[in-house]
Chain A
């Protein structure tokens, strides 16, 4: 509950921050007391800042939940959609979509979004099969497989950039994805992403209890009557959907999906059922703050939030690796 309040405050602060300061009190007054904002303020707020802040909330929640799911699935606190290549797969899928099928859509979903989802799922399956051994995953194998796959995917996306040098607009989209920029999404895009986030979170709920069971190992989970294969497929699909949602709004953002579930687990213990809502909200808060920092630290220049996260998350990841080496025997 207190997290909801924190999220609200983070939203307000983030909305207020920028080249044109709009005091939070003025926004609240406009919302609750009917004191209208000036026209400029309204335009800035509704067409620029609000979509962006909401988008960073969606991206943060999506990455955090999928990080939580992948960490549970791999029985390993080092997993994260970026580290294990799921985000990279989504970006590559989206690239293919942008360059070849940008006009096509199925049942209202653009080919780009579908390909992003497919890319994410395929990558996950590959990394999972590579990293899995006797009921658990070896940290080293997981990280190496994830590293190799995401590097390959990252550079093949750059290849698209080179190939498509003549189409200017595509290139801008691509670059912002590879650097992890949360742009200013259109409202329709934001709505679709928001709906997917909600759907995937609802799907994730019954899986949380199963993640607890899977923590005992595949064989034990099977012995307890769990259909391990189906459960795994469900987790991979849902986690990839969340990754695809996040990537379609913010591109490659590293480590958010690693840090948030990890800290939540330190504070609340590893029970996934309790972790899900907390992780989702903290993820949103975390990325709203990070994005606000990214666009205001060096204002008027914006740092892509992906790059900021790499600076923040990298050291944390290394610290975790150090600690893991001692407490989990490989």
Chain B
């Protein structure tokens, strides 16, 4: 089976030095992959390349066996959705109005939203568990609620691949667990998940594979257990040995998620 998304020798930089250097990896359909790495390693850039908002300088991004940059924008947007770290909405748009924008790739110049679009929006709100918030004003929500609404916006695109940029950032542990549960749920719905994440403790038991991006080494891919080794992390994150709980070797790690 073809991978859903593959990076083949992708390089990209914003003018100066390349941030992403000849990255190659595959994302299998139905997988749940975490993207980790130190600040500034290019995690957000990599996600934007995967969503097609940025075009790689060399190499190619392949979606479902086709070159991403040669596909029409709206077709990419029906397959891939990117949930950004920050979503700044001017004016007092309600949650529902924001989520409705996720239907944009399905509309054309003359075709406005129809019944199936309303159904899709309802479904997205329900999946992200924000149906109760739909009449609230987006700008007045808490961080955790906003995060869920952003995911609902992505889900309204009915994507096969959902990209998330630091979804657990600024969330308290309770909201983090809720969010991880949501990702599990979406995975069970058949949506492939690729998420950058800073909180390494959330990896095991929740993600089927991990990609480590680091400025000095080549990209590594493996199961969370294979990547979360003190020797690897110390080098990738440039952290002095044994100064963080994750950097202390333990014979067996069973961080199973409750529930």
Selected from B89, B92, B105, B110, the residue in CB contact (under 8 A) with A269 is: B92
- A290 and B81 alpha carbons, distance in the complex (Å): 48
A77 contacts the other chain (CB 8 A): yes
- CA gap between A269 and B93 in the complex, in Å: 7
Contact A215 B53 (CB under 8 A): no
Q: Knowing A75-B90, A269-B92 are in contact, say whether A224-B101 is a contact too (CB < 8 A).
A: yes
In the bound assembly, the distance between CA atoms of A226 and B112 in angstroms comes to 14
| Residue pair B91, A223 in contact (C-beta under 8 Å) | no
Whether A224 and B91, one on each chain, are in contact in the complex, defined by CB atoms closer than 8 angstroms, is no
**A220 and B91 form a contact (CB under 8 A):** no
Q: Are A271 and B97 in contact (CB under 8 A)?
A: yes
B74 pairs with A215, CB closer than 8 A: no
Q: Compute how far the CA of A216 lies from the CA of B74 in the bound complex, rounded to whole angstroms.
A: 16
Expressed in whole angstroms, the Cα–Cα distance for A213 and B84 within the complex equals 15
Task: Decide yes or no: A225 and B90 within 8 Å by CB, A219-B53, A269-B97 being known contacts.
Answer: no
- A64-105 interface code vs B (CB 8 A; 1 in, 0 out): 000000000001110000000000000000000000000000
Residue-by-residue, is A208-236 near B (CB-CB < 8 Å gives 1, otherwise 0)? 01001101110111111111000000000
Asked, given contacts A223-B53, A270-B97, whether A209 binds B112 with beta carbons under 8 Å apart, the answer is: yes
CB of A136 within 8 A of chain B?
A: yes
Tell me whether B90 and A223 are in contact (CB under 8 A). Answer: no
Asked if A109 lies at the interface with its beta carbon under 8 angstroms from chain B, I say: no
A328 on the interface (CB 8 Å rule)?
A: yes
Q: What string of 1s and 0s marks CB contacts (under 8 Å) between B188-199 and chain A?
A: 000000000000
Q: A265 interface residue, CB < 8 Å from B?
A: yes
Question: Does chain B have a CB within 8 A of A206?
Answer: yes
Interface of A is mostly: loop
The chain A residue sitting closest to B106, CB to CB, is: A225
Q: Nearest Cβ distance between residue B240 and chain A, in whole angstroms?
A: 36
Q: Which of A313-329 contact B (CB under 8 A)?
A: 328
Q: A222-B53, A224-B102 are in contact. Are A215 and B90 (CB under 8 A)?
A: yes
Docked complex: B55-112 residues within 8 A CB-CB of A: 72-78, 81-82, 84, 87-94, 97-98, 100-102, 104-105, 107, 109-110, 112
Complexed CA–CA distance, A328 and B92 (Å): 11
B157 within 8 Å of A (CB atoms): yes
Question: In the bound complex, how far is the Cα of B81 from the Cα of A226, in angstroms?
Answer: 14
Closest chain A residue to B113, Cβ basis:
A209
> Within the assembled complex, what's the spacing in Å between the Cα atoms of A262 and B104?
25
Question: Contact partner of B93 among A206, A220, A224, A270, CB < 8 A?
Answer: A270
The distance in angstroms between the C-alpha atoms of A215 and B84, with both chains bound, is 15
As a 0/1 sequence over residues 249 to 280 of chain A, the CB contacts with chain B under 8 angstroms (1 = contact) are 00000000000000001000111000000000
CB distance from A151 to the nearest CB of B (A): 26
- Contact call A225/B105, Cβ cutoff below 8 A: yes
Decide if B90 touches A226 in the complex (CB within 8 Å): no
Bound CA–CA A84/B89 (angstroms): 22
Contact of A220 among B87, B112, B113 (CB under 8 A): B87
* CB neighbours of A223 from chain B (8 A): 51-53, 77, 81-82
How distant is A243 from chain B, measured CB to nearest CB, in Å? 22
- The answer to whether A215 and B104 have CB atoms under 8 Å apart is no
B residues in contact with A75, CB < 8 Å: 90-91
Contact A216 B87, beta carbon cutoff 8 Å: yes
- Please determine whether B104 and A225 come into contact, CB atoms closer than 8 angstroms: yes
* Nearest CB in chain A: distance from B45 CB, A: 13
B112 A270 Cβ-Cβ under 8 A: no
Measured CA separation A75–B87 after assembly (Å): 13
Min Cβ gap A273→B in Å is 8
Contact of B101 among A76, A216, A219, A227 (CB under 8 A): A216
Partner of B89, one of A215, A222, A224, A271: A215
A136→B90 CA distance, assembly (Å) = 9
Which residue of the partner chain B has the closest CB to A207? B109
Query: Please, which residues of chain B bring their CB within 8 A of the CB of A213?
Result: 101, 104
B117 to chain A, nearest CB (A): 11
Given contacts A209-B112, A215-B89, A269-B93, 11 further A-B contacts (CB under 8 A): A209-B107, A216-B89, A217-B88, A220-B87, A222-B73, A223-B53, A224-B104, A225-B73, A225-B74, A225-B104, A225-B105
Give A residues with C-beta under 8 Å from B. Answer: 75-77, 136, 206, 209, 212-213, 215-217, 219-227, 265, 269-271, 328
Instruction: List 8 tightest A-B contacts by C-beta distance, closest first.
Output: A225-B74, A270-B91, A225-B77, A225-B105, A224-B104, A75-B90, A225-B73, A213-B101
Binding site for A on B (CB under 8 A): 51-53, 72-78, 81-82, 84, 87-94, 97-98, 100-102, 104-105, 107, 109-110, 112-113, 157
CB pairs A–B below 8 angstroms (24 shown): A75-B91, A77-B90, A136-B88, A136-B90, A209-B107, A209-B113, A215-B89, A219-B53, A219-B84, A220-B84, A220-B87, A223-B82, A224-B77, A224-B101, A224-B102, A224-B105, A225-B72, A225-B73, A225-B78, A265-B91, A269-B93, A270-B91, A270-B92, A271-B93
